[in-house]
Amino acid sequence: MSNTPWRSARSCVLASVMAAVSTGALLPASAFAQAPAPAALPSAAAAAVRGLPDFTDLVEQVGPSVVNIRTSEKVASRGNASGMDEDMLEFFRRFGVPIPNLPQRPQRPQQPQAEEDQPRGVGSGFILTQDGYVMTNAHVVEGASEVIVTLTDKREFKAKIIGSDKRTDVAVVKIDAKGLPAVKVGDVNRLKVGEWVMAIGSPFGLENSVTAGIVSAKQRDTGEYIPFIQTDVAINPGNSGGPLINLRGEVVGINSQIYSRSGGFMGISFAIPMDEAIRVSDQLRTTGKVTRGRIGVQIGAVTKDVAESIGLGKPQGALVSAVEAGSPAEKAGIEAGDVITRYEGKPIEKFGDLPRMVGNTKPGTKSAITVFRRGSQRDLSITIAEVEPDEKAAAAAPASEEKAPKASAAAQQLGLAVAELTEAQKKELKIKGGVRVASADGAAARAGLREGDVLLAVANTEITNMKSFEAALAKADKSKPINLLVRRGEWAQYVLIRPAR
């Protein structure tokens, strides 16, 4: 019998009875009499059991607002030398019948291949406004030459794509109709983990299918700009673009993605929060595109060890790994190695918060930004630029010229030999100072340092040359991990060296 500690006394007795029955042994009747009676459910728990949600009213309320979306795309029509109908040729191929020798048609000048519409896919959507604006996923209508929207009353409309945004996977299409049943948009901030939610869509083309579950998590970072809502609502191909609905009958998200190893539902689904979707849809309806802000930095997460070693306390903010030349960040004075902790007065809890906050800022806006640099907070002003498509940052390689490497006793203890940077190297790397790693072994090698790295700071002290490097190293507490700000190519990050004891 299992010794699992949380099993009830009654279940243990029943297990003994079952074991006895299986072996032919008999138990006295007193064994049953001694079993404690099951405890009564608390009234609140009993009410919760009796009060499981009934979704029928929600389906009647929101169902008419959900639409089925079919798309097609133009493809080149297939031709054949015999001039025979393509369906007839397929008949001969499928049943193994030899294709008859037909008289060849006179050759004509080659004409451009005609295009024909072919079915592309099926998805879902929902009516955003009474005058025919419909919201769905961008991937549902991507590449479509024709979009057909079918309402629950079986009316079909050819839709016009107003705009789509791949980054958030939101699209808006328009049908020519009035007085449509529009959805009510809910407040995502009121949505709680564990709350019941419902989805309506067309999984595998099965129109108006209803599934339900709970909110599993919020603020899931699976995309660059979207803090997804995670649920266990059954979502399958065809559900994309359909609404996620709370018990008040309000749409709180757009069902967009699933986590799956098989291609089918596995209990983890993701929805785009409606506050993000509405922000995007408003721009799509106004201008047909989405404009986002940028500041020109590459960022990463701040680990617990790095946060403690640089004096930040808890792991928070966005660690600046690289600053783009000529970008708003460079003009504002942001440097590689800075930790951006606040934007417009709002704290950056996770590094993924920053691109969303900046992206939602109108280009040209002057914004306040706070960075943590070498033990202190600094407030900077930055002018937001506009995200450009297919943006590429140029990578610069450090120059090979260097002065003779040097290794003091303190540096040798860490396994480091460093050299002065030449003026040409500083100019090429666009830095004011630092020292170049000539060799790394021992503790330095274990920390990941290698030849060619540039050290910009040691133990929160900025390095300008060999002299300042030695001075900072001499003051560092050798009994604790020493943090170094390291530049490698265009990237900068913190490295912790743990000296051998």
232-256 in b/e form (b: 16+ CB < 10 A) is: bbbbbbbbbbbbbbbeebbbbbbbb
The one-letter amino acid code at 183 reads V
User: Any binding-site annotation on 238?
Assistant: yes
Q: Does residue 153 carry a catalytic annotation? A: no
- Partnered with residue 230 across adjacent β-strands are 217, 270
Which candidate in 65, 164, 165, 169 is catalytic?
A: 169
CB neighbourhood size of 129 (10 A): 15
Instruction: Give the chain's length.
Output: 501
Q: Does residue 240 carry a catalytic annotation? A: yes
The one-letter amino acid code at 1 reads M
Using CA atoms, how far apart are residues 274 and 229, in angstroms rounded to an integer?
10
CB 283 within 8 A of CB 223: no
User: Any binding-site annotation on 123?
Assistant: no
CA distance readout (Å), 36 to 7, 10, 241 = 13, 6, 52
From the list 440, 422, 439, 444, the residue with the least C-alpha distance to 431 is 422
Using H for helix, E for strand and C for coil, what is the string for 313-367?
A: CCCCCEEEEEECCCCHHHHHCCCCCCEEEEECCEECCCCCHHHHHHHCCCCCCEE
Which candidate in 65, 164, 240, 269 is catalytic?
A: 240
From the list 79, 169, 168, 92, the residue with the least C-alpha distance to 123 is 169
Q: Does residue 30 carry a catalytic annotation? A: no
Using CA atoms, how far apart are residues 224 and 131, in angstroms rounded to an integer?
32
Place of tokens 């460079």: 330
Using CA atoms, how far apart are residues 253 and 278, in angstroms rounded to an integer?
10
The region that residue 165 occupies, defined by phi over 0 for left and psi between -120 and 50 for alpha, beta otherwise, is: beta
First to last CA, the chain: 51
Using CA atoms, how far apart are residues 92 and 86, in angstroms rounded to an integer?
10
Which candidate in 72, 82, 139, 275 is catalytic?
A: 139
In eight-state DSSP terms, residue 261 is: S
Using CA atoms, how far apart are residues 135 and 242, in angstroms rounded to an integer?
8
User: Any binding-site annotation on 169?
Assistant: yes
CB neighbourhood size of 304 (10 A): 10
Question: What is residue 118's three-state secondary structure?
Answer: strand
In eight-state DSSP terms, residue 454 is: E
Contacts of 430 (CB under 8 A, 6+ apart): 325, 396
Contacts of 10 (CB under 8 A, 6+ apart): 35, 36, 37, 38
Beta-strand relationship, 269-273 and 376-383 = unpaired
Q: In the chain, how long is the greatest CA-to-CA distance?
A: 101
Annotated binding site for substrate: 139, 169, 238-240
Residues noted as catalytic: 139, 169, 240
Show binding-site residues.
139, 169, 238-240
